[in-house]
A and B are shown apart, each in its own frame.
Chain A
Amino acid sequence: MLKIYFLICLLFTSLISSASNSQTTRIKITDGQVARIPIAIADFTGPDGTPTAEGRQISKIISDDLRNSGLFAPVDTAAFINPPSSPDITPNFDNWSPLGVEGLIIGSAYFDDENVLQLEFKLWDVVTQKALTEGGGSAAPAGLRRIAHKVADFVYVEFTGDKKYFDTKIVYISESGPQDKRIKRLAIMDQDGHNHRFLTSGRDLVLTPRFSPTAHEIAYLNYFNDEPNIYLFQIATGQTEKLGSFPGMTFAPRFHPDGNKLIMSLAKDGSTNIFEMDLLTRDTRQLTNTVHIDTAPSYSPDGNNIVFESDRDGRQQLFIMDRDGSNVERISYNKGRYATPVWSPRGDVIAFTKMMGGEFFIGIMRTDGSGERLLARGFLVEAPTWAPNGRVLMYYKQEKFKEDGSGGKTSLHKIDITGFNEIIVNTPADASDPAWSPLLGSKP
């Protein structure tokens, strides 16, 4: 059993000890149906052994994370009989096995005299009656949701064998107003939709934000002064900076996994080609040289290859090349047009948007183009982005507009890459162009 401690300070998070040794995958998939793991999450208690308000909030955050993953079925707390008053107390398993749960989370969480949140938890395997993992940490009040996401991450890893992803953020484009005068703003929120915040005012049209590997910066397309170019946004300070000066429009940015380079498209004289910029020197080099449209580039997780879309063969298709632009090879050959490829953080598959028969689809294929699977469809679904564990995709969906310019509901959705558990991500207004952050606190 592992003992895990974490600490959330005002802004920064450090994991004192981490990693799970459990590789047991308990998810069972039969005929495309996933059997959700029944799990009990007791309300976290205070020093007196009774649930605290903050403890209840934390339990709910953990429960929501696990339920929304589609892989867990948290049991209603009302069914609990005599939950232990502290994570130090071994539960009476006779009270839990009748609920059919496989896992049980017991924890304590309270604000101490200095208003610091103190948290401990223990995860029990109800079947074997053994503790699987335990840990604890402290956080400023503003870090409450993050520390809860971290506990949920440990539970997720322990039971699924997948990597964690709950302690992450989403940057996206918030949309409002009529179809012909759409106001678009950069907005950021936690992965579960909380802590929502607008980053730009809506005065300038902004599109396609992408996180840097540290999640401290966002690269995006900004129509400042009616000159569309890629800008860099510093999340902590709100500073923006135009990236370079080009004789045309730069767009479709994505960071290299090392965080020091950025790949993008430059449209000039009707041709669109792919360039890489060194963010330290600001030197750029041209990777493709066509009279066609080469765009939407995305690096492989090792940074050595690039997948992109091109209409050089007539219609949009997916291509892979080496990072220096050599060895270009087409990988999409099935029916339809393929666009917006994004390499999975696991490296094995590529997510894309597909257009076929008047419909749009979100799908994945292996990096050699084989094994294509379509996961979501709609009048318009577009722009997949990967959770950092490569298990969940988010994208946006737009409904049809009416003739008066109303309608056209646009919203974020996420789906498990097995193709089930498609759920909407709640946002204050219409939403498009999502980008999932890396795990917070991670380094390139």
Chain B
Amino acid sequence: MIKRLLTICAATILLAACETASTDSNEVVGSSSGTSSASGAAASASSNTSSTSNMASDSASSASSASSAGGSSSIGSIKSPDELLAKVGSTVYFDYDQSTLTAEAQATLDRQAAFLKASPSFRITIEGHCDERGTREYNLALGDRRASAVRDYLVAKGINASRLSTISYGKERPSVGGSNETSYSLNRRSISKID
């Protein structure tokens, strides 16, 4: 129990460090690529669709509560592990039919790796997701490819593979509603969740 508390404290301190480094909360949502249209879409969707998207509203609420707590690392602001991970950035985005990690995705995963190193008792499951513009079986395979790309990156950053599992949901679990390019860009993603 004490060890667990220490772990969370460590994670909280790490978070505070991340927060000072990050310029705004936009990178919690992230963006799918370096192209301006995709990152613009992601940013606009983060403000427009937060009511319909669990992921987006979770990020938003954790971000706002974190900012209200300010720089204080008081023990009273302990969050759930998933909230902490969401603050670090649990979601990375992919281009259409791609599993390559963009610079922004890598930056998010670098923070995930630091988080996992600081919290060695946590294990995570990486979910791979796709937009609806592919066939069902292929998207199941593509979701596996995306989740595996994230796992491989974290392993390369020193996280033990035994702490990481993957699952693909293909196009079955979009986070953002609608059949349009904005929702597609936000649904092509991986989410890391603490087991």
Contact = CB atoms under 8 A, between A and B. Distances in A.
Interface in A251-299: 251-252, 265, 267-272, 293, 295-296
A408 B133 CA distance: 13
B144 A401 contact: no
A31 interface: no
A408 B152 CA distance: 35
Nearest to B187: A180
Interface residues of A, number: 49
B102 to A, nearest CB: 17
A404 interface: yes
Contacts of B133: 355, 380
Contact of A251 (B54, B137, B142, B177): B137
B177 A401 contact: yes
Nearest to B97: A315
B178 interface: yes
B148 interface: yes
A353 interface: yes
Given A208-B136, A251-B137, A401-B177, A293 B172 contact: no
A180 B53 contact: yes
Contacts of A340: 135-137
A379 interface: yes
B179 to A, nearest CB: 4
Nearest to B54: A180
Interface in A151-195: 178-180, 182, 184
Contacts of A339: 134-135, 137-138
A347 interface: no
A248 B97 CA distance: 21
Which of A179, A208, A227, A355 gathers most chain B CB within 10 Å?
A179
B136 A433 contact: yes
Given A182-B172, A272-B144, A293 B138 contact: yes
Contacts of A311: 138
B97 to A, nearest CB: 8
A295 B54 contact: no
A335 to B, nearest CB: 16
A251 B140 CA distance: 8
A379 B179 CA distance: 10
B174 interface: yes
Nearest to A272: B141
Contact of A382 (B52, B136, B144, B148): B136
A249 B177 CA distance: 26
A403 B180 contact: yes
A296 B137 contact: yes
A430 to B, nearest CB: 14
A293 B175 contact: no
A402 interface: yes
B138 A295 contact: yes
B173 A180 contact: yes
A405 B140 contact: no
Nearest to A316: B138
A384 to B, nearest CB: 11
A109 interface: no
B132 interface: yes
A252 B138 CA distance: 9
A339 B168 CA distance: 19
A411 B138 CA distance: 21
A90 B137 CA distance: 56
Contacts of B183: 401, 403
Interface string A301-329: 00000000101000110000000000000
A407 to B, nearest CB: 8
A403 B138 contact: no
B186 to A, nearest CB: 11
B145 interface: yes
B172 A205 contact: yes
A38 B172 CA distance: 45
Interface in B162-180: 167-170, 172-180
Interface in B19-68: 49, 52-54
Interface string A392-407: 0000001011111111
B99 interface: yes
Given A251-B141, A404-B178, 16 more contacts: A180-B177, A207-B170, A208-B137, A228-B140, A228-B167, A228-B168, A249-B168, A270-B144, A270-B148, A272-B141, A311-B138, A316-B138, A379-B179, A401-B177, A402-B177, A403-B183
Closest 5 CB pairs of A and B: A405-B177, A270-B148, A400-B179, A403-B178, A267-B144
Interface of A: 178-180, 182, 184, 205, 207-208, 221, 226-228, 248-249, 251-252, 265, 267-272, 293, 295-296, 309, 311, 315-316, 339-340, 353, 355, 379-380, 382-383, 398, 400-408, 433
20 contacts: A180-B52, A182-B173, A228-B168, A249-B144, A249-B168, A251-B137, A265-B141, A270-B148, A293-B138, A340-B136, A353-B135, A380-B133, A382-B135, A383-B136, A400-B179, A401-B177, A402-B178, A403-B49, A403-B183, A404-B178
